[in-house]
Structure 1
Amino acid sequence: MSEETMVTASPNKRLSLDKRALTRRTGLALPAALPLGSWVDIGRQIAVIADASAWWLGDWLLYGRQCYPDRYQRAIDQTGLSYQTLRNYAWIARRFPASRRRDALSMQHHAVVAAMSDEEQETWLEHAEREGWSVSRLKNALRAERSRPAPANDSTVVLKMEVDPHRQKRWEQAAEHTGTDLAYWASQILDQAALHTLRTRLGTSGETNA
């Protein structure tokens, strides 16, 4: 599914595909002389189902991790998708409980802001939904926001780290996947790790990584 796709569906409505579209495991058959409007509607329905299936897999994995921890890895193996892809689905699903997911936005929109705080997530998703932003437009808006000069009275501390090239490349790829630059991505990950560690030490955190 293209990252430019905007998927919409009515909240709490079961998803279905036009009965004139014959679905098979390896293909889709459409009737002859199908009206253009119907063809467009079917494409939109397929896009919605494709995006929803990513959420379904994420929730399915979280359920399996909670209820069948000894079979979680086996469940991942059974899908045929890459381990990292499924881990990403589960992570995004965990970062966004069902009540915070926006039907007008794709899972990829949510993935772009998943590393942010809940408040930041809501702010950017609200912008994306209200303005009808594509995933690319959301990423560009975030880059533009972060490229703005810091206020003159900003007391930012510069941290320096020495890492091998392989780790740097891996981190840069992860940052690019979320539509952020390396510095911002690293700060978000460190903030999350620090918060988790502090909560764990205080005995108030029951949340672990998916």
Structure 2
Amino acid sequence: MSARPVDNSGEPAQRDAVLSFVGTQAKVQKSGMIFPENLSERAWEQIGSSLRELVNSSVWWLADWVNYGESTYGWRRYKEAIERTGLDYQTLRNYAWVGRRFEHHRRRDGLSFAHHAEVARLSPPEQDYWLRKAEQQKWSRNELRRTVRASLAAQSGEEEPREVARRQPQVTTLTIELSADQLEYISRAAAAQGVPVDKWVTQMLDIADRHGAERRTA
């Protein structure tokens, strides 16, 4: 049985292996990072780059962790995931959804999770195309968003008559309060159809509206 590493005071060392890139250049604690006065600018830059990669990777890790728990243990594990991470349900759902949209071999280490989220709703070939462009052109997440939106808007304008494109449907925001059990039921039903919760609710409202129209005209 190996002994736990200790610092000079005899207390167990708190250095995390995940943060080994910091080395002896700074002191890492759960609540922060303490830097020496003589830290070089180059070392400071390298630590920042490593922290950026760590933050980006942690989102992918959370996505894969949630998806594994869901597929292995079922939807009931979402309550446990919320308690374990301290993140809200929708945040975890968003992470998990993006994670499912990209197999590991299609994820680009040179781009952030946010880059992938921007194109997650597109088809896989379109995703690969835009991510490849973003990596080649070194686009930020916002630059990728603007370019993709402009491209989609141009395509939409070519496919629809101008007067139709100008007509925008009226959008109403609806807020619904649900119990934990109701949310779990709706989430399970949406997952069975492979759609996000908000889209599933919209589909159910559309169905109810059509049925109501049929009864009125019968």
TM-score by length of 1: 0.65
- Residue 87 (structure 2) aligned to one of 61, 81, 93: 81
Report the Cα offset of residue 24 of structure 1.
1.4
CA deviation after TM superposition for structure 1 residue 32, in Å: 2.2
Q: Name stretches of at least 5 consecutive residues in structure 1 with no aligned partner.
A: 1-13, 169-188, 194-210
- Runs of 4+ deviating beyond 2 Å: 14-17, 70-73, 146-151, 158-164
* 1:33 pairs with one of 31, 38, 49: 38
Alignment-derived partner of residue 50 in structure 2: 45
Does 2:59 correspond to 1:54? yes
**Deviation of the 1:71 alpha carbon:** 2.6
CA RMSD of aligned residues (A): 2.9
Whole-angstrom distance in 1 between the partners of 2:160 and 2:51: 49
Figure out how many residues of one structure are paired with residues of the other and give that number. 156
**Structure 1 residues 155 and 135, CA, compared in 2 at 3 Å: closer, same or farther?**
closer
Q: Give CA-to-partner distance per residue, 1:9-37, whole Å, 9 cap, x none.
A: xxxxx874321232211111122200100
Pairing partner for 2:26 from 21, 27, 32: 21
Q: Distance in 2 between matches of 1:106 and 1:143?
A: 18
Q: Distance in 2 between matches of 1:73 and 1:116?
A: 29
How big is the shift at 1:162?
Answer: 6.5
1:86-105 paired onto structure 2 within 5 Å = 86-105=92-111
Deviations along 1:21-67, one digit per CA (max 9) or x if unpaired, are: 32211111122200100000001101110111000100000111112
Shifted more, 80-89 versus 99-108: the winner is: 80-89
CA 16–121 in structure 1, closer or farther in 2 if over 3 Å, else same: farther
Tell me, yes or no, if the aligned pair for 2:78 and 2:89 is still in contact at 8 Å: no
Specify the structure having the higher radius of gyration (Cα): 2
Displacement of 1:77 in angstroms is 2.3
Q: Distance in 1 between matches of 2:150 and 2:120?
A: 18
What is the distance in 2 between the residues matched to 1:86 and 1:101?
Answer: 19
User: In the alignment, is residue 147 of structure 1 matched against residue 153 of structure 2?
Assistant: yes
Equivalents in 2 of 1:88, 1:155: separation in Å?
31
Structure 2 segments unaligned to the other structure (5+ residues): 1-17, 176-195, 201-218
Q: Is this contact kept in 2: 1:77–1:83, CA < 8 A? A: no
- Residue matched to 1:125: 131
Residue identity (%):
39
- CA deviation map 1:98-147 (0-9, x unaligned): 11100000000000000111011011001000100000110111122133
Preserved contact between residue 16 and residue 45 of structure 1 (Cα < 8 Å): no
- What CA distance in whole angstroms lies between the structure 1 residues aligned with 2:174 and 2:141? 27
Taking structure 2 as the reference length, what is the TM-score of the superposition? 0.63
